[in-house]
Amino acid sequence: MEIWSDIARDDEEKTGDRLRATELLGKSQGDFIERTENKNLNVHARVDRLEVLTNEQIYELLAIVEDKKKALLEGAG
C-alpha cells in the first residue's frame, strides 16, 4: 500500500497513474462500500482489502509498479 501512496504523491507521475493509485489505495483500505439487496432492504457491507480488486485492476497496478521500479533502477544506474 505504501507504493500507492508514493505514486499518488509523486508530481512526476502521470495524473492518470496518480488517480488510479489513489483509487486502489482507497479500495484496499475499505474506503468504498458495496450495496447489496437483502429481502428488498438495502444493506451496506464493508468491502475488504485487496479482495475487491478485479484481475484487470491488479494487472494495472502491477504495470504501474513495474514502471516505477524501472524508473527507480534507471535513476540509480
The burial of 66, by beta-carbon neighbours within 10 Å (0-12 exposed, 13-18 middle, 19 or more buried), is given as exposed
Q: Note the pLDDT tens digit of each residue in 46-60.
A: 545 566 778 888 888
Model pTM score: 0.44
Q: In the chain, what are the domain boundaries? A: 2-72
Task: Give the number of other Cβ atoms within 10 Å of residue 21's Cβ.
Answer: 25
Task: Give the number of other Cβ atoms within 10 Å of residue 20's Cβ.
Answer: 20
Q: Note the pLDDT tens digit of each residue in 2-56.
A: 888 888 889 998 999 998 998 888 888 877 776 666 555 444 555 455 667 788 8
- H/E element holding 27? helix 15-28
> Which residues have CB under 8 Å from 41's CB, separation 6+?
none
